[in-house]
């Protein structure tokens, strides 16, 4: 039995397809679709553009969504901004903060290309590395009192393990700590106050909203450093409405319940695959952890004798969607020829059994 019944996702409800690529393309819940269609059917206004009723209604929706996002990540409304994407948010923050935090950047070459592409022309003060469990290994990093830009990822897009962001803050107490929460949002708790971060980004489609809007959190104490307007003049109101609705859906089930459920699915898949699939090996991540209670529904693996694209195409022929290819990471730092599965709360052990059975036939 799934935590969220698949019947609530129209794209999946009447289909034989198993969609195990939720990290890249999250299906849309029928309540989200309903709210977006209702807005488009009754409103032609956009936020901040006019004084007529439709425009005022759009501004009300804008405010409601900002309040919902702020509550969801434990921020204040004035610290939340809408941008085109999480990658755009990273670029804006980097350009705005680098003069106030001039002592280089701290990042991991293994993180998503949205991070590495932003910092590639900036001197690296320190490089973070990942250990076998898919978490940052900071054992050899000394506390640094300087003012740098620190980029950290809460959940790695391939490895799928939670990073201890607070430990990064303790090592760089006076730096600007920027967190990529794109794979954490909707899977586990994202709490900017608990992490003590200065900035954070994610995109709406990562938690069941529409593509086209990213979210940037910037702590109020840094607003004076902003060097450019953050939000575009014309906002994608349908995507903003969908974001608020998607948050409502997740909160109705409870993020902590989703977190625990995805941990169980992760453990189940790893155990079944290790037992039944010949030639399988795993990348860094929960499969290499000594703790069974870890994982956020993201697991990456390889199968001896097959490229990742071969595996993905074979599975596609059996109506199973998985991710293969470059995974938006640097080939010089991360092995890219791997298959990633990313489950969410609409998956269950029965669907995972079907996936493992297909892999076992290879």
Using one digit for the tens of pLDDT, what is the confidence trace for 232-266?
889 999 999 999 999 999 999 999 999 999 999 99
C-alpha span between 270 and 247 (Å, rounded): 29
Interval 19-33: pLDDT, tens: 999 999 899 999 999
Domains of the chain with bracketed CATH: 6-29+254-360 (3.90.1150.10), 31-253 (3.40.640.10)
Stretch among 19-23, 115-119, 295-299, 314-318 having the lowest mean pLDDT = 115-119
Count the neighbouring beta carbons within 10 Å of the beta carbon of residue 111.
Answer: 26
Give the pTM.
0.95
State the pLDDT confidence band at 291, using cuts at 50, 70 and 90. low
Q: Which residue has the higher pLDDT, 154 or 47?
A: 154
């Amino acid at each position: 039995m799934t935590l969220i019944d698949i019947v609530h996702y129209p794209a999946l409800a009447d289909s034989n397809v198993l969609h195990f690529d939720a990290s890249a393309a999250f299906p849309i819940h029928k309540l989200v679709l309903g709210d977006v269609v209702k807005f488009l059917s009754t409103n032609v206004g956009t936020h901040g553009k006019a004084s007529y009723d439709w425009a005022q209604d759009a501004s009300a929706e804008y405010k409601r969504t900002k309040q919902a996002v702020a509550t969801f990540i434990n921020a204040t409304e004035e610290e939340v901004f809408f941008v085109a994407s999480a990658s755009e948010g990273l670029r804006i923050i980097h350009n705005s903060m680098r003069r106030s935090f001039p002592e280089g950047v701290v990042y991991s070459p293994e993180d998503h290309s949205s991070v590495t592409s932003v910092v590639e022309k900036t001197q690296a003060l320190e490089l973070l590395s990942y250990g076998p469990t898919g978490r940052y290994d900071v054992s050899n990093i000394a506390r640094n009192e300087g003012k740098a830009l620190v980029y950290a990822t809460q959940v790695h897009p391939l490895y799928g393990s939670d990073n201890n962001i607070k430990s990064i803050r303790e090592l760089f107490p006076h730096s600007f700590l920027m967190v990529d929460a794109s794979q954490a949002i909707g899977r586990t708790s994202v709490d900017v106050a608990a992490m003590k971060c200065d900035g954070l980004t994610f995109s709406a489609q990562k938690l069941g909203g529409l593509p086209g809007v990213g979210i940037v959190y910037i702590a109020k104490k840094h607003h004076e450093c902003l060097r450019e307007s953050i939000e575009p003049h014309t906002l994608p109101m349908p995507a903003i409405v969908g974001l608020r609705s998607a948050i409502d859906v997740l909160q109705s089930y409870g993020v902590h319940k989703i977190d625990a459920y995805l941990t169980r699915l992760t453990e189940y898949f790893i155990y079944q695959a290790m037992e039944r699939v010949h030639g399988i090996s795993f990348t860094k991540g929960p499969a290499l952890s000594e703790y069974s209670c870890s994982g956020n529904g993201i697991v990456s693996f390889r199968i001896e004798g097959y490229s990742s694209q071969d595996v993905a195409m074979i599975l596609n022929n059996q109506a199973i969607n998985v991710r293969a290819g470059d995974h938006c990471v640097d080939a010089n730092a991360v092995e890219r020829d791997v298959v990633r599965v990313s489950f969410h709360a609409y998956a269950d052990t029965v669907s995972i059994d079907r996936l493992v059975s297909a892999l076992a036939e290879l």
